[in-house]
Structure 1
Protein backbone atom coordinates (compact mmCIF):
# COMPACT_ATOMS: atom_id res chain seq x y z
CA UNK A 1 0.00 0.00 0.00
CA UNK A 2 1.18 3.46 -0.78
CA UNK A 3 1.31 6.29 1.72
CA UNK A 4 -1.46 8.11 -0.15
CA UNK A 5 -3.83 5.13 -0.07
CA UNK A 6 -3.11 4.67 3.65
CA UNK A 7 -4.01 8.32 4.31
CA UNK A 8 -7.25 7.98 2.34
CA UNK A 9 -8.09 4.80 4.21
CA UNK A 10 -7.38 6.41 7.60
CA UNK A 11 -9.39 9.52 6.75
CA UNK A 12 -12.27 7.35 5.55
CA UNK A 13 -12.15 5.33 8.76
CA UNK A 14 -12.16 8.47 10.92
CA UNK A 15 -15.06 10.03 8.99
CA UNK A 16 -17.07 6.81 9.16
CA UNK A 17 -16.44 6.54 12.89
CA UNK A 18 -17.51 10.16 13.49
CA UNK A 19 -20.64 9.63 11.39
CA UNK A 20 -21.51 6.44 13.29
CA UNK A 21 -20.98 8.09 16.69
CA UNK A 22 -23.10 11.11 15.70
CA UNK A 23 -25.87 8.82 14.43
CA UNK A 24 -25.76 6.72 17.61
CA UNK A 25 -25.86 9.85 19.79
CA UNK A 26 -28.89 11.23 17.94
CA UNK A 27 -30.68 7.88 17.82
CA UNK A 28 -30.14 7.06 21.48
CA UNK A 29 -30.82 10.55 22.80
CA UNK A 30 -33.56 10.17 25.41
CA UNK A 31 -36.97 11.75 25.00
CA UNK A 32 -37.08 15.06 26.87
CA UNK A 33 -39.37 15.44 29.87
CA UNK A 34 -42.75 16.81 28.81
CA UNK A 35 -43.33 20.53 29.31
CA UNK A 36 -45.56 23.12 27.68
CA UNK A 37 -42.54 24.63 25.94
CA UNK A 38 -41.53 21.42 24.13
CA UNK A 39 -44.98 20.14 23.11
CA UNK A 40 -47.04 20.62 19.97
CA UNK A 41 -50.84 20.77 20.14
CA UNK A 42 -52.96 18.58 17.85
CA UNK A 43 -56.75 18.60 17.62
CA UNK A 44 -58.77 16.00 15.73
CA UNK A 45 -61.29 13.16 16.04
CA UNK A 46 -59.95 9.85 17.36
CA UNK A 47 -60.41 7.03 14.88
CA UNK A 48 -58.70 4.23 16.78
CA UNK A 49 -57.17 3.28 20.13
CA UNK A 50 -55.05 0.11 20.31
CA UNK A 51 -52.24 -1.61 22.16
CA UNK A 52 -48.88 -0.53 20.81
CA UNK A 53 -45.83 -2.58 19.91
CA UNK A 54 -43.93 -1.25 22.91
CA UNK A 55 -44.27 -2.85 26.30
CA UNK A 56 -47.51 -1.50 27.78
CA UNK A 57 -47.91 1.30 25.22
CA UNK A 58 -51.29 2.52 24.00
CA UNK A 59 -51.58 4.06 20.52
CA UNK A 60 -54.09 6.74 19.55
CA UNK A 61 -54.80 7.28 15.84
CA UNK A 62 -56.40 10.51 14.67
CA UNK A 63 -58.84 10.63 11.76
CA UNK A 64 -57.01 13.20 9.60
CA UNK A 65 -53.43 12.25 10.42
CA UNK A 66 -50.96 9.64 9.23
CA UNK A 67 -49.05 9.88 12.51
CA UNK A 68 -49.26 7.53 15.46
CA UNK A 69 -49.52 9.05 18.92
CA UNK A 70 -48.64 6.85 21.88
CA UNK A 71 -48.78 6.89 25.66
CA UNK A 72 -45.61 5.20 26.84
CA UNK A 73 -46.21 2.29 29.26
CA UNK A 74 -49.83 3.42 29.77
CA UNK A 75 -51.04 -0.09 30.63
CA UNK A 76 -48.38 -0.33 33.34
CA UNK A 77 -49.79 2.88 34.87
CA UNK A 78 -53.36 1.56 35.07
CA UNK A 79 -54.83 2.74 31.76
CA UNK A 80 -56.64 0.24 29.56
CA UNK A 81 -57.22 0.15 25.83
CA UNK A 82 -60.92 -0.65 26.32
CA UNK A 83 -61.57 2.30 28.66
CA UNK A 84 -59.69 4.75 26.43
CA UNK A 85 -61.57 3.44 23.37
CA UNK A 86 -64.85 4.11 25.15
CA UNK A 87 -63.77 7.61 26.20
CA UNK A 88 -62.03 8.73 23.00
CA UNK A 89 -63.08 6.95 19.77
CA UNK A 90 -65.30 9.21 17.67
CA UNK A 91 -64.67 12.23 19.89
CA UNK A 92 -62.71 15.36 19.14
CA UNK A 93 -59.67 15.60 21.38
CA UNK A 94 -56.83 17.99 22.02
CA UNK A 95 -53.52 16.36 22.65
CA UNK A 96 -50.06 17.63 23.37
CA UNK A 97 -47.18 15.64 21.90
CA UNK A 98 -43.52 16.09 22.72
CA UNK A 99 -41.53 17.65 19.87
CA UNK A 100 -38.63 15.26 19.35
CA UNK A 101 -36.63 14.19 16.28
CA UNK A 102 -34.61 11.04 15.88
CA UNK A 103 -32.90 9.49 12.84
CA UNK A 104 -34.80 6.27 13.61
CA UNK A 105 -38.03 8.16 12.75
CA UNK A 106 -36.84 10.95 10.43
CA UNK A 107 -40.36 11.91 9.30
CA UNK A 108 -41.55 12.07 12.95
CA UNK A 109 -44.52 9.79 12.30
CA UNK A 110 -44.55 8.47 15.88
CA UNK A 111 -45.25 11.01 18.61
CA UNK A 112 -45.17 10.68 22.39
CA UNK A 113 -48.36 11.96 24.05
CA UNK A 114 -47.90 14.31 26.99
CA UNK A 115 -51.57 15.19 27.52
CA UNK A 116 -55.06 14.34 26.23
CA UNK A 117 -58.24 16.36 26.80
CA UNK A 118 -61.74 15.83 25.45
CA UNK A 119 -64.76 18.04 26.13
CA UNK A 120 -62.57 20.06 28.52
CA UNK A 121 -61.91 16.97 30.65
CA UNK A 122 -58.32 15.89 31.25
CA UNK A 123 -57.99 12.22 30.29
CA UNK A 124 -54.21 11.80 30.56
CA UNK A 125 -51.29 14.03 31.52
CA UNK A 126 -47.62 13.73 32.31
CA UNK A 127 -47.08 17.48 32.58
Structure 2
Protein backbone atom coordinates (compact mmCIF):
# COMPACT_ATOMS: atom_id res chain seq x y z
CA UNK A 1 0.00 0.00 0.00
CA UNK A 2 2.79 2.43 0.95
CA UNK A 3 4.62 1.70 -2.31
CA UNK A 4 1.45 2.45 -4.34
CA UNK A 5 1.00 5.81 -2.62
CA UNK A 6 4.62 6.77 -3.32
CA UNK A 7 4.27 5.80 -6.98
CA UNK A 8 1.01 7.74 -7.36
CA UNK A 9 2.58 10.78 -5.67
CA UNK A 10 5.56 10.66 -8.04
CA UNK A 11 3.28 10.38 -11.09
CA UNK A 12 1.20 13.30 -9.84
CA UNK A 13 4.29 15.46 -9.23
CA UNK A 14 5.70 14.63 -12.68
CA UNK A 15 2.40 15.61 -14.31
CA UNK A 16 2.19 18.79 -12.24
CA UNK A 17 5.74 19.81 -13.20
CA UNK A 18 5.12 19.03 -16.86
CA UNK A 19 2.00 21.23 -16.93
CA UNK A 20 3.56 24.01 -14.84
CA UNK A 21 6.84 24.27 -16.71
CA UNK A 22 5.80 23.74 -20.32
CA UNK A 23 6.64 26.73 -22.52
CA UNK A 24 3.97 29.20 -23.62
CA UNK A 25 3.24 28.87 -27.33
CA UNK A 26 3.39 32.29 -29.00
CA UNK A 27 1.76 31.68 -32.36
CA UNK A 28 -1.37 33.28 -33.78
CA UNK A 29 -3.29 29.99 -33.71
CA UNK A 30 -2.89 29.81 -29.95
CA UNK A 31 -3.93 33.40 -29.15
CA UNK A 32 -7.08 35.20 -28.10
CA UNK A 33 -7.61 38.93 -28.61
CA UNK A 34 -9.25 41.51 -26.37
CA UNK A 35 -9.62 45.29 -26.50
CA UNK A 36 -10.00 47.54 -23.52
CA UNK A 37 -8.95 50.69 -21.71
CA UNK A 38 -5.74 50.51 -19.70
CA UNK A 39 -6.61 51.24 -16.07
CA UNK A 40 -3.34 50.37 -14.38
CA UNK A 41 0.28 49.65 -15.32
CA UNK A 42 2.69 48.16 -12.78
CA UNK A 43 5.81 46.05 -12.46
CA UNK A 44 5.42 42.43 -11.46
CA UNK A 45 7.45 39.27 -11.34
CA UNK A 46 10.97 39.76 -12.65
CA UNK A 47 10.83 43.01 -14.66
CA UNK A 48 7.41 42.07 -16.13
CA UNK A 49 5.21 44.89 -17.44
CA UNK A 50 1.76 44.24 -15.94
CA UNK A 51 -1.35 45.78 -17.50
CA UNK A 52 -4.89 45.84 -16.08
CA UNK A 53 -7.82 46.68 -18.34
CA UNK A 54 -10.97 48.40 -17.08
CA UNK A 55 -13.83 45.98 -16.58
CA UNK A 56 -11.66 42.90 -17.11
CA UNK A 57 -10.93 40.28 -14.53
CA UNK A 58 -7.28 39.34 -14.26
CA UNK A 59 -4.07 40.87 -15.51
CA UNK A 60 -1.99 40.82 -18.68
CA UNK A 61 1.81 40.90 -18.73
CA UNK A 62 4.73 41.30 -21.10
CA UNK A 63 7.37 38.90 -19.86
CA UNK A 64 10.52 40.86 -18.94
CA UNK A 65 9.03 43.89 -20.70
CA UNK A 66 10.80 46.35 -18.42
CA UNK A 67 14.09 44.62 -18.99
CA UNK A 68 13.75 44.39 -22.77
CA UNK A 69 12.36 47.66 -24.04
CA UNK A 70 9.84 49.57 -21.93
CA UNK A 71 10.13 52.06 -19.09
CA UNK A 72 7.25 51.91 -16.60
CA UNK A 73 6.75 55.69 -16.36
CA UNK A 74 6.78 56.20 -20.15
CA UNK A 75 4.44 53.28 -20.81
CA UNK A 76 2.03 54.49 -18.12
CA UNK A 77 2.02 58.07 -19.46
CA UNK A 78 1.39 56.89 -23.01
CA UNK A 79 -1.26 54.22 -22.49
CA UNK A 80 -3.11 54.72 -19.18
CA UNK A 81 -6.72 55.64 -19.94
CA UNK A 82 -6.37 54.69 -23.62
CA UNK A 83 -7.78 51.77 -25.54
CA UNK A 84 -5.39 49.03 -26.63
CA UNK A 85 -5.81 45.65 -28.27
CA UNK A 86 -4.05 42.74 -26.62
CA UNK A 87 -3.42 39.30 -28.08
CA UNK A 88 -2.61 36.79 -25.37
CA UNK A 89 -1.62 33.13 -25.24
CA UNK A 90 -4.46 30.71 -24.56
CA UNK A 91 -2.46 28.80 -21.97
CA UNK A 92 -3.45 27.05 -18.74
CA UNK A 93 -1.09 26.14 -15.93
CA UNK A 94 -1.70 24.64 -12.48
CA UNK A 95 0.26 27.59 -11.05
CA UNK A 96 -2.68 29.83 -12.13
CA UNK A 97 -5.68 27.48 -12.00
CA UNK A 98 -8.28 30.24 -12.53
CA UNK A 99 -6.34 31.56 -15.56
CA UNK A 100 -6.30 35.18 -14.34
CA UNK A 101 -2.75 35.97 -15.51
CA UNK A 102 -2.37 36.19 -19.27
CA UNK A 103 0.86 36.36 -21.27
CA UNK A 104 0.75 39.14 -23.89
CA UNK A 105 1.95 38.04 -27.33
CA UNK A 106 1.02 41.28 -29.11
CA UNK A 107 -0.07 44.76 -28.05
CA UNK A 108 -1.45 47.28 -30.53
CA UNK A 109 -2.52 50.88 -30.12
CA UNK A 110 -4.65 51.99 -33.05
CA UNK A 111 -2.76 50.73 -36.10
CA UNK A 112 0.63 50.70 -34.34
CA UNK A 113 2.06 47.39 -33.14
CA UNK A 114 3.71 48.42 -29.87
CA UNK A 115 4.94 44.95 -28.93
CA UNK A 116 4.90 41.57 -30.68
CA UNK A 117 6.49 38.21 -30.23
CA UNK A 118 4.35 36.62 -32.95
CA UNK A 119 5.72 35.41 -36.26
TM-score range, shorter chain: over 0.9
| Structure 1 residue corresponding to 2:79, chosen from 79, 88, 99 | 88
Partner of 2:52: 61
Partner of 1:48: 40
**RMSD of the alignment, in Å?**
1.1
Please list every run of at least 4 consecutive aligned residues from structure 1 whose deviation after the TM superposition is greater than 4 angstroms.
none
Q: Deviations over 1:15-39 (max 9, x none)?
A: 111111111111111222x111111
Q: Deviations over 1:21-61 (max 9, x none)?
A: 111111111222x1111111011111011111x22111000
TM-score, normalised with respect to structure 1:
0.87
Q: Which runs of 5+ in 2 are unaligned?
A: none
> Partners in 1 of 2:60 and 2:99 — Cα distance?
10
Q: Which runs of 5+ in 1 are unaligned?
A: 1-7
Partner of 2:15: 22
* Larger gyration radius, structure 1 or structure 2: 1
> Partners in 2 of 1:103 and 1:78 — Cα distance?
29
> Partners in 2 of 1:63 and 1:102 — Cα distance?
24
Partner of 2:28: 36
Residue 78 of structure 1 and its aligned partner are, at CA, apart by: 2.1
Matches within 5 A, 1:96-111: 96-111=87-102
TM-score, normalised with respect to structure 2:
0.92
